[in-house]
Amino acid sequence: MKMRTMLILTLLSVGLLLAGTGIAGAGVIVSTGVPTTATLQGVNTLSVTPMIYAAGSAPSISFGTVSSTVSFLVPAQYVRVVHNDNSLAWEIKIHTNNFGVNVDTWDPYDPAKYGVTPATATWGFQYGGMKGSPGAKTPMGWHARVDNSLASKFAAGDPAATTSVGWNFVKDHADRDDPSTTVDTPPIGVVKDESYKGANGKASYANVAYGGPGYQNVVNPQDLIDYSDPDTDKTFVVEVEGCFGSAPADTYSTTLYFDLVHQ
C-alpha cells in the first residue's frame, strides 16, 4: 500500500472515531438528582342533609301516614350529599344498620350465626329499609343524581327492576345471602349473593358514588355503559322511596347511613 493511501485511510479512521465519540456524547453521561418530597394532607369529609324538593333543609325524611293502596312512595325530602376526599380511590355507600351489627366482623356466610339476631325465621335474609315490630319491614330504594338540588321527584318504581326504573334497594349491614337464590341472570352463571358483603363490590347496589383525586362519579344504573355519571363538583343528591306494597300495617323507622370508604 502506498504511503498516501495509508494516510488517507488513517485520517478516515480518526474521523470515524471522532464521529463515534460524537454520537456517544449525545447520550446521558451522568445522571444525578435532587430528592423531592411533599406530604399532601388528606381530606376526608362527608355530610348529608335532608332537603325538601324545591325548598330548604328538613330535620329528617318523613313518609307521613301512607295509604294501604300505595306500593312505592317518594317522600317530600331527598338527601343532599357533600363530600371531599383526595385518597386514591374512595366510595360512598348507602345502607341501614337495623340490627346494629359490626359489618367488619359480621359473617353473613357462617351458618352458625343464623339464629343470632336477626333471626331469619322472623326477619328473612334482607333487612334494608325501615323496621317495624318483629318481622315487619318496609324495603327502601335509592336513586342518585349529579344535581346539587332538586325541584321535582324521580318517578317511583320497583327497585327489583333496577336498570329499567333507576332505583336500587337500600342494603342493610346485616343482609345475608338468600340460599334459595343461587344464580344471577344475567349474566348466567354468576353467584347471586344478596349479603351486604357480597353486594359490596357492585357499584349499582350499595355504592352511590365513587372517585379518586380529580374525579367523581355518581352511580346511575340506567347508564348501561359504566353505570355512572361524571359529576363536576363534590355535591350530589340521593332520593329515596319506601316500598310499602309488601309491608304490613305498622309504624316504621330507621336511620339511613352514608359511609365514606377507602378502597
Contacts of 194 (CB under 8 A, 6+ apart): 125, 126, 175, 176, 177, 178, 181
**Span from 5-13, 33-41, 132-140, 180-188 in contact with Ca ion (CB under 5 A):** 180-188
Q: Which stretch binds Ca ion (CB under 5 A): 130-138, 153-161, 176-184, 208-216?
A: 176-184
For residue 244, give the amino acid letter.
F
214-233 burial, b if ≥16 CB within 10 A, otherwise e? eebbbbbbeeeeebbbebee
Q: Which stretch binds Ca ion (CB under 5 A): 55-63, 95-103, 187-195, 207-215?
A: 187-195
Give the residue at shortest CB distance from Ca ion.
Answer: 181
The answer to whether residue 240 forms part of the interface with Ca ion (CB under 5 A) is no
Burial class (CB in 10 A: 0-12, 13-18, 19+), 30: exposed
Question: Stretches 99-107, 122-130, 136-144, 227-235: which one binds Ca ion (CB under 5 A)?
Answer: 227-235
Indicate the residue among 62 and 120 with the shorter CB distance to Ca ion. 120
Under rule CB under 5 A, residue 192 binds Ca ion: yes
The C-alpha atoms of residue 101 and residue 222 are separated, in whole angstroms, by: 31
Q: Which stretch binds Ca ion (CB under 5 A): 2-10, 38-46, 125-133, 235-243?
A: 235-243
Burial class (CB in 10 A: 0-12, 13-18, 19+), 241: buried
- 239 belongs to the binding site for Ca ion (CB under 5 A): no
**177 binds Ca ion per the rule CB under 5 A:** yes
User: Interface with Ca ion includes 91 (CB under 5 A)?
Assistant: no
Q: What is the DSSP string of 44-91?
A: EEEEEEEEETTS-B-SS----S--TT-SEE--SEEEEEEEEE-SSSEE
Binding map of Ca ion across residues 130-149, x = CB under 5 A, - = no contact: ----------------x-x-
Find the binder of Ca ion among 107, 110, 233, 250 (CB under 5 A): 233
Interaction between residue 181 and Ca ion (CB under 5 A): yes
Residue pair 98/255 in contact by the 8 Å Cβ criterion: no
Helix (H, G, I), strand (E, B) or coil at 4: helix
Selected binder of Ca ion within 172, 175, 231, 241 (CB under 5 A): 231
Residue 158 or residue 178: which is nearer to Ca ion going by CB?
178
Residues that bind Ca ion in the complex, under the rule CB under 5 A:
146, 148, 177-178, 181, 192, 223, 226, 231, 233, 235-236
